[in-house]
């Protein structure tokens, strides 16, 4: 699999994650709970607060932009500004989130971690790490074409 293909897969992963976040807004409090946003976010959604929706839509937008950067790097769309820097940062965010989530549930009792199950942390962290690996491999394998 070449870097271009890996970047297209990375883009698809980010777009799917973005669409899932939009779906969570429409799914309501139960979806916030199921997908691990935390009880506080679910309760705020139940009370009609706009904060969970705004926060979730901001995350969805960021994930969609990340998908666009991967498509840009793959040459599918126009070259976006700061492409190499963006790819490195996106990769780092996915990998740090993924790897931290595999460790933190076992070494801390902080409420931000314990509000979700170990299963949530393991599943979401494997997903984030997988996304990060597609960005990493795609970026490394396609680096020379990004100049």
Residue 131: pLDDT band with limits 50, 70, 90: very high
Q: In sequence order, which residues have a C-beta less than 8 Å from that of residue 90 and are 6 or more positions away?
A: 66, 69, 70, 135
Share of the chain above pLDDT 90, in %: 86
pTM for the structure as a whole: 0.94
59 has pLDDT over 90: yes
Q: In sequence order, which residues have a C-beta less than 8 Å from that of residue 32 and are 6 or more positions away?
A: 24, 38, 41, 42, 45, 52, 56
For residue 83, report the phi and psi dihedrals to the nearest 5 degrees.
-60, -50
What's the burial of 99, exposed, middle or buried (CB within 10 Å: 0-12/13-18/19+)?
Answer: middle
Question: Are 74 and 4 spatial neighbours (Cβ–Cβ below 8 Å)?
Answer: yes
């Amino acid at each position: 699999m070449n870097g271009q293909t890996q970047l297209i897969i990375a883009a698809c992963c980010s777009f799917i994650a973005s669409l899932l976040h939009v779906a969570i807004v429409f799914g309501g409090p139960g979806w916030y709970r199921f997908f691990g946003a935390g009880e506080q976010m679910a309760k705020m959604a139940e009370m009609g607060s706009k904060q969970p929706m705004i926060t979730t839509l901001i995350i969805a937008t960021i994930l969609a932009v990340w998908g666009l950067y991967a498509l840009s790097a793959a040459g599918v769309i126009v070259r976006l500004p700061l492409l190499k820097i963006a790819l490195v940062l996106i990769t780092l965010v996915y990998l740090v989130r993924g790897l931290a989530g595999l460790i933190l549930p076992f070494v801390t009792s902080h409420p931000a971690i314990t509000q979700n199950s170990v299963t949530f942390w393991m599943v979401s962290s494997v997903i984030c790490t997988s996304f990060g690996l597609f960005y990493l491999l795609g970026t490394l394998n396609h680096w020379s074409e990004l100049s």
